[in-house]
Structure 1
Amino acid sequence: MKKSDLTCSECGAGFRRLELTSERGIQGNYHCPACGTLIEELGAAHLVLYRLTVQPSIKAIRNQ
């Protein structure tokens, strides 16, 4: 299992990213739930999970 932290470049929301190499994932895209910005294009080789850890900036969301 690999752990990392990511931040959305548009709204500043923070995420914990978990990658399980022992499980197959689903191919697709992960978008920030607050502003819709593409965070990552996912392959099917590993299962990738995201958890919101830092709330987005309200100012950044209002300016969209």
Structure 2
Amino acid sequence: MAIADLIYEQTKKLPEHLAREVLDFVGYLAERQERDQGRDLINAQESALKAVWDNPEDQAWDRV
């Protein structure tokens, strides 16, 4: 049985207010995953652009 099916089986036994809490928590996890993926993308971009930003030619523009 898939994880989603197990979650469904467990939550369908819960009262409505507790099932709502589970749904809210799942939403929180989804938002956290999105935020973490965004942070990973930014870190990858910074690493890739470091060679472009931090070089002697670029330093000349710092004085303009």
For the criterion TM > 0.5, the same-fold answer is no
Q: Which has the larger radius of gyration?
A: 2
Normalization by structure 2: what TM-score?
A: 0.18
TM-score, normalised with respect to structure 1: 0.18
Q: Which fold has the larger relative contact order, with Cα–Cα distance below 8 Å and residues 6 or more apart in sequence?
A: 1
Instruction: Say which structure is richer in strand.
Output: 1
Higher helix share: 2
